[in-house]
Amino acid sequence: MSISYFISDVHLGFMSLEEERSKEDLLLELLAEITDRTGDLFILGDLFDFWYEYGHVVPRGFHRTLAALDHLASTGARVEYLIGNHDFAAGDFFRSELRIPVHRRDLELTLQSKRIYLYHGDGLAASDNGYRLLKRVLHNPLAQFAFRWIHPDIGFRLARLSSHTSRNYTAQKDFGPSDGILEEATKRINEGCDIVIMGHRHVPSFQRIAGGWYINLGAWLDEAPYAVLEDGEIRLCNRTGHDFMYNQI
């Protein structure tokens, strides 16, 4: 039996310590389930609310999750990490220490005889030119090199402040009903993909488009949703145990 799991937008490190503990417990339960079921895992970005790797320093506070991912990968499971807009500065830590490849763009692959397109989903809103410019700056190697010279205590404090400010700004903007994500999903399905899975919007969605499926994974901040592909059938569920219904469009 073949089974693959998909998660996105866990944003570890965003909440208070007590809230983070509870949220991470749910994630660890899922990782244990994947391990027990000999499943594979695809992380579609923003696993951390902020992640930056210095030469010999990685963020503190996530050792339980990192250990669980290391254990999952050590069993021979396929674990792949697509970065998002909050963890874009991932370096070689995941590949070299955890044996988890990191993808900086989208990923198209075949699983269980299904053609699947994976992408975090940021930068697709045609009207959000400000974010597109910011993304170019933040992803620029020179900008990341300059940030490395800031002491980690200061750098991470600035990053968390920026994250909260960005979230408030985004919440007040109206990018339309889909931020360009639904249009991109429709395009990929029309090009032959059977399943398109994205994150970023923080709103779970499970929709039938023409002959394919579009899933948005929502955010772990809320109901802890995740997708499961089992024996060629895709579904969107959460840690409360129920599946999301799908919309026909």
Can you read off the two tokens belonging to residue 226? 């995740």
Which pLDDT does position 221 carry in this prediction? 74
Q: Which domain holds residue 119?
A: 3-248
CA atoms within 13 A on the CB side of 198: 28
Which pLDDT does position 249 carry in this prediction? 47
Q: Spell out, as residue ranges, where the chain has pLDDT lower than 70.
A: 1, 125-141, 143-147, 155, 159-179, 241-242, 245-249
How far is 153 from 57, CA to CA, in rounded Å?
11
CATH number at residue 136: 3.60.21.10
Burial 51-67 (b: 16+ CB within 10 A, else e): bbbbeeebbeebeebbe
Q: Check: pTM over 0.75? Answer yes or no.
A: yes
Could you tell me whether strands 114-119 and 195-198 are parallel, antiparallel, or unpaired per DSSP bridges? parallel
- Rg of the chain over Cα atoms, rounded to whole angstroms, equals 18
Which pLDDT does position 109 carry in this prediction? 96
Which pLDDT does position 171 carry in this prediction? 45
Reported as a single tens digit per residue, the pLDDT across 176-206 is: 556 688 999 999 999 999 999 999 888 899 9
Which pLDDT does position 246 carry in this prediction? 65
Total domain count for the chain? 1
